Structure 1
Amino acid sequence: MVVFGTDSGRVRGVRVFGGVVAVLGVPYAAPPFGVDRFKEPRPVVGWDGVRECGRFGGVSPQSAELPGAPVWSPGDEDVLTVNVWTPAPEGGCLPVLVWIHGGAYTFGSSAQPDFDGTVLARAGLVVVTLNYRIGFEGFGHVPGGGTVRPDNRGLLDQVAALRWVRANIGAFGGDPGNVTVAGQSSGAASVACLMVMDRARGLFRRAIAHSPASPCYPPGIAAATTREIAAAAGCPATADGLAATSPWDLVRAGDRVVEAYRRDPASGSRHYDPSLYAPVLDGDVLPVDPLTGMDRGLAREVDLLVCHTTEEYWLLDAVGSSAKVTTEARLRAFAADFGLPDGLVDGYRALAPHAPVLDVYLAVFGDLLFAEYARRLVDRHTRAGGRAHLARFDRRRGGAGGTVRAWHCADIPFAFGNLHDDALAFLIGGAPSAEDHDLADRMVRAWADFARTGDPGWPAADGGSAHAMTWTTDGRSAEEPPDGTRALWEPVAFPVLRP
């Protein structure tokens, strides 16, 4: 057992492996419920004595049950916590990596097994993971909220966690002046938002975004979503009505709204992937969308590493969260619902003339939401004078159960070096091979090197053809793009807003 001092009190961690100490479930803000519900995160009330921190904190309200991770129980309120893995419990000045989990701003937590920080800590980092408000609690628009009940409470939680890191990470052997913030999917999109937010300025010097999700919502879309949630919950769409409705009732109301979109092919773009929440372009917490902010040079001083997988959307199809599109007519309707130009789908079809309609749909949708957005973040950041590196994850694996693709989330166990947990077998296709371990070692080293120096081991984008690392089990690298799809996206303006 090892004791560390924080500005709220002393905490005791546990030794886990290879000299690494884990300190789990440390509050960085007060529980955001009761009188503090829908408000900015409040300071932690300190404690006397030593707080035992050998278990993860509670997860944010959600209905998801993820493999190997805890579930939320109504009544769990101490959800704003961080976890720290340090290889230097006696002190040091190591680079720090702060991880923001994904989950469509609706589910997930820092306790998922792929986010264990032990391997990255052994590579020389102090690793911090965090929970933050998601769903309506974190990203729902509260009518008339203003500065009292602001939009983007989940982003404000992330800022509070970064401030905790700045104030306390030195006690864990970390360098508060060398912080990298990282995330995947909606966590990566959160990273992109933090890069252009005044409130987060100066809290980190580097950023890693794996499969950043593209949408941000203008206030009108966020307000319309609130009205749908309130109607499904049977409460007034007012600040008082929503505050009087329990978090669990709002979670269940959101699930009902999502299911209604899934069942209605005529419901527009949300039918295909009914994600209700996203950061709100409120003009205050989030003044501009990340692409616009990067174009203006708001993040020029932050080094950026972006990665996407080559078959992002196949995971969403495999787990049943995406609508099936299997006819040419439905494919055309999908393109129209998102306002995509006529030639885009035709271009994908020409590149894969014998592919099933479903595969064309998944390829287009994955690039729309993740891959093309990722590449544009690199383009905009580089064009504004920032330094950015690009990577693609293209590892596949065949087996008796079929092919495990280079799909959404598959890269994260490799980047964290966590391949053995049974809960991750679906993502990586069973027991890891020697080649898989080699790939994980290379990806861990790239993250550690980037966090330490800003150089992951391959050239930065130069504003023309981006030199991209291609992560595979044979170590290939190639120029981006490999398949000619980028030219098809040139007429499409990003961000693409979903009504």
Structure 2
Amino acid sequence: MDDVFQTASGTVRGFRAADDVVAVLGIPYAAPPFGARRFREPFPAEPWRGVRDATEFGPIAPQSAELPGAPVWSPGDEDVLTVNVWTPAAEGGRLPVLVWLHGGAYTFGSSAQPDFDGTALARAGLVVVTLNYRLGFEGFGYVPGAPDNRGLLDQVAALRWTRENIAAFGGDPGNVTIAGQSSGATSVACLMVMDGARGLFRRAVAHSPASVFHTRDIAVSTTREIAEAAGRPATLAGLEAAPPEALVAAADRVVETYRNDPGSGSRHYDPSLFAPVLGGDTLPADPLAALAAGAGREVDLLVSHTTEEYWLLDAVGSCAKLTTDQQLAGFAADFGLPGTLLDGYRAALPHAPVPEVHLTVFGDLLFAEFAARLVEAHAGAGGRTYLSRFDRRRAAADGTPVRAWHCADIPFAWGNHEDPRLAFLIGGAPTPADRELARRMVRAWVDFAATGDPGWAPVRDAIADTARIWRPGDQPPDALPTAPRALWADVAMPVLRP
């Protein structure tokens, strides 16, 4: 197998990530989105001569996050629209392709995180593509006179790059699956209903999709807040004149304002400023409504979520700590949740303290309920749809609970559970039962990408009866008590309230 590949823009040389897998990193799929191209749709990548060394990840999108095991953004890094490919096949192969969209609240993260090393999935039979896209204000901030949802447009450009180039890496451009986690999973739902992405993929996987979308009014208001914090006018010229690092810092200041003000509404509880903006040319309709109306019916969909999503956000300190019944009632009021919903959760969790009730409700509000509605919308419109839940729970060596929290499923689905940098996500070193769980999950995800069948029945009418529950073989089959979904019947989504 050769380490040199020909793309439409030029020749690239990768390296052996394993004896039978070549990794090719940091390939531009679009031009740097700065200067005259800032706040615009992605432009084609500039071609190059000679052989481009592709052995390191490209720069990540502007952000202030410093994630374990991942690079950080530095002002001046501009070539941020790149893809990475892991392949086990030479040119002429026709393997199924998986294109991955990382999460991070549309604000942070990158394709260079250790969770997303594609070696294990490539060894299992996929050509894996991961990508960086614009985040934060650069990708999802409202800018007068500029297209909305530039991060989603970047993702579409990466899918077009995949269609045009993946055959050179042994992949089948007619058998592409898009997949993502958290905000990356919600991006998957958006792409399923976007006209610009139609025909670029056959299947979709959404891990823990998040329910928040923004109306134009919310997006405009957020831009005003960030512009004011940056000391700039909220105009195209004023925002273009602000360096990316100034807008990153300004957004961080706005986040802290919400975080420190319990009276600031729903954003106080986990201040996230960016989300896909509904109503424009890029994303005219709420994906739930569009899916229910039949958009994306031809795309096979696999939705997965964890059973204790919000415990991770609490553990890393990104959400408010609620300890009293009064705070819990205020939380429900700020999100427009009926009192009967809290009563139902208390009945289902009779001995749980306020913090646990809060985390359970918040996790269902942002993730589990939205995942269920995605499944129902797609299946109800005639799309082939699958659901799974990750419920790996145990006690760590020191007796603390190992939670089935947000992101905990990713190292298992990617086969990267042995990486010590991911020990925090999975609660320590994997056990033999964990390794068997990872083997089963990798096989299911590869089979779905290849054939559209992960190995269990698609959803028909009863979601609970057709969901695959992922647990290690040595874990008792008892389930975490949850409130009935009927409690959510009158709760509208998106959930963010101005």
SS in 1 for 2:14: strand
2:441 is matched with 443
Find the aligned partners of 2:463 and 2:95 in 1 and give their Cα distance.
34
Distance 1:391 1:215, change over 3 A: same
Distance 1:481 1:109, change over 3 A: same
1:192 is matched with 189
Q: Residues 26 and 57 of structure 1 are in contact (CA less than 8 Å); yes or no, is this contact kept in structure 2?
A: yes
Structure-to-structure mapping, 1:361-440, within 5 angstroms: 361-401=358-398, 402-440=400-438
Once the two structures are TM-superposed, the CA of residue 422 in structure 1 deviates from its matched residue by 2.2
SS in 1 for 2:395: coil
Two-structure CA RMSD over aligned residues (Å): 1.5
Find the aligned partners of 1:443 and 1:465 in 2 and give their Cα distance.
20
Find the aligned partners of 1:413 and 1:155 in 2 and give their Cα distance.
25
SS in 2 for 1:99: strand
Count residues in correspondence.
495
Once the two structures are TM-superposed, the CA of residue 498 in structure 1 deviates from its matched residue by 2.9
SS in 1 for 2:402: coil
Alignment deviations for residues 167-206 of structure 1 (CA, whole Å, 9 cap, x no partner): 0000000000000000000000000000000000000010
SS in 2 for 1:374: helix
Find the aligned partners of 1:283 and 1:246 in 2 and give their Cα distance.
26
2:76 is matched with 75
Q: Residues 2 and 89 of structure 1 are in contact (CA less than 8 Å); yes or no, is this contact kept in structure 2?
A: no
Q: Residues 21 and 89 of structure 1 are in contact (CA less than 8 Å); yes or no, is this contact kept in structure 2?
A: no
Once the two structures are TM-superposed, the CA of residue 423 in structure 1 deviates from its matched residue by 1.8
Once the two structures are TM-superposed, the CA of residue 166 in structure 1 deviates from its matched residue by 0.2
1:140 is matched with 141
SS in 2 for 1:128: strand
Correspondence for 2:272 among 275, 289, 309: 275
Q: Residues 387 and 467 of structure 2 are in contact (CA less than 8 Å); yes or no, is this contact kept in structure 1?
A: yes
SS in 2 for 1:59: coil
1:219 aligns with 2:220: no
Distance 1:140 1:244, change over 3 A: same
Find the aligned partners of 1:318 and 1:436 in 2 and give their Cα distance.
22
Once the two structures are TM-superposed, the CA of residue 72 in structure 1 deviates from its matched residue by 0.2
Distance 1:200 1:479, change over 3 A: farther
Once the two structures are TM-superposed, the CA of residue 495 in structure 1 deviates from its matched residue by 2.5
Find the aligned partners of 2:389 and 2:59 in 1 and give their Cα distance.
33
1:14 aligns with 2:11: no
Aligned amino acid, residue 281 of structure 2: D
Distance 1:480 1:198, change over 3 A: farther
Find the aligned partners of 1:492 and 1:282 in 2 and give their Cα distance.
21
Alignment deviations for residues 285-304 of structure 1 (CA, whole Å, 9 cap, x no partner): 00111101101101100000
1:458 is matched with 456
1:489 is matched with 488
Once the two structures are TM-superposed, the CA of residue 475 in structure 1 deviates from its matched residue by 7.9
Find the aligned partners of 2:162 and 2:478 in 1 and give their Cα distance.
37
1:332 is matched with 329
SS in 2 for 1:488: helix
SS in 1 for 2:239: helix
Aligned amino acid, residue 406 of structure 1: A
Find the aligned partners of 1:374 and 1:81 in 2 and give their Cα distance.
29
SS in 1 for 2:174: strand
Q: Residues 151 and 282 of structure 1 are in contact (CA less than 8 Å); yes or no, is this contact kept in structure 2?
A: no
Find the aligned partners of 1:348 and 1:318 in 2 and give their Cα distance.
22
For structure 1, the residue ranges without an aligned partner over 5 or more in a row are none
TM-score (ref. length: structure 1): 0.97
Aligned amino acid, residue 159 of structure 1: V
Using the aligned pairs only, state the percent identity: 71
Aligned amino acid, residue 395 of structure 2: G
1:60 is matched with 61
